[in-house]
Structure 1
Amino acid sequence: MENNVVSKSDLTRQMIVEKSATLFNLQGFSGTSMKDIMDATGLSKGGLYGNFKTKEDIALAAYDQAVEMVWEEVKKRTKVIDHSLDKLKAVVYFYKERILDPPVEGGCPIQNTTIEADDGNPVLRKKVQQTVDNWRANIVANLEKGMKRGEVRLDVNAADFAIQFIGILEGGIMLSRLYKELHCFDVIARQLIKLIDDLKA
Structure 2
Amino acid sequence: MVRSEKTRQFIIEKTASIFNKKGYIGTYLSDLTNATGLTKGSIYGNFKDKNEVALEAFRFNYKLQTEKVLFLMKKEKSADKKLLAFLDHYKNEYVAIFKNGGCAILNTAVDSDDGNELLKQEVIGKIEDWVYRVVTILEEGIQQKELKKINSLEYAHRMIAQIEGSILLSKTLNQSDILLKNIELLKQDIELLKLK
Scaled to the shorter chain, the TM-score interval is over 0.9
Question: Corresponding residue for 1:3?
Answer: none
Please give the per-residue CA displacement for 1:4-23, whole angstroms capped at 9, x wherever unaligned.
xx611111111111111111
* Cα distance, 1:119 vs structure 2: 1.3
1:181 aligns with 2:183: no
User: Where does structure 1 lack aligned partners over 5 or more consecutive residues?
Assistant: 1-5
Partner residue of 1:92 out of 87, 91, 94: 87
3-state SS in 2 of match to 1:151: coil
* Cα distance, 1:148 vs structure 2: 2.2
Please give the per-residue CA displacement for 1:158-179, whole angstroms capped at 9, x wherever unaligned.
1111101100111111111022
- Given the two structures, how large is their TM-score scaled by the length of structure 1? 0.91
1:156 aligns with 2:139: no
Please give the per-residue CA displacement for 1:71-92, whole angstroms capped at 9, x wherever unaligned.
1121232121111111111111
User: Where does structure 2 lack aligned partners over 5 or more consecutive residues?
Assistant: none
Question: Corresponding residue for 2:36?
Answer: 41
Residues 128-137 or 104-113, more deviating? 104-113
Say if 2:98 and 2:171, in contact at 8 Å, map to a contact too: no
3-state SS in 2 of match to 1:50: helix
3-state SS in 2 of match to 1:92: helix
- Runs of 4+ displaced beyond 3 Å: none
- Aligned equivalents of 2:24 and 2:160: distance in 1? 24
- Given the two structures, how large is their TM-score scaled by the length of structure 2? 0.93
- Aligned equivalents of 1:108 and 1:46: distance in 2? 30
- Aligned equivalents of 1:35 and 1:174: distance in 2? 28
Total equivalences in the alignment: 195
3-state SS in 2 of match to 1:81: coil
Instruction: Give the helix-richer structure, 1 or 2.
Output: 2
Please give the per-residue CA displacement for 1:129-185, whole angstroms capped at 9, x wherever unaligned.
1100000001111111112222122x2111111101100111111111022232211
1:25 aligns with 2:20: yes
Say if 1:18 and 1:65, in contact at 8 Å, map to a contact too: yes
Question: Corresponding residue for 1:167?
Answer: 161
- Aligned equivalents of 1:89 and 1:10: distance in 2? 37
Question: Corresponding residue for 2:185?
Answer: 191
Residues 160-169 or 115-124, more deviating? 115-124
- Aligned equivalents of 1:79 and 1:183: distance in 2? 28
Question: Corresponding residue for 2:47?
Answer: 52
Partner AA of 1:39 in structure 2: N
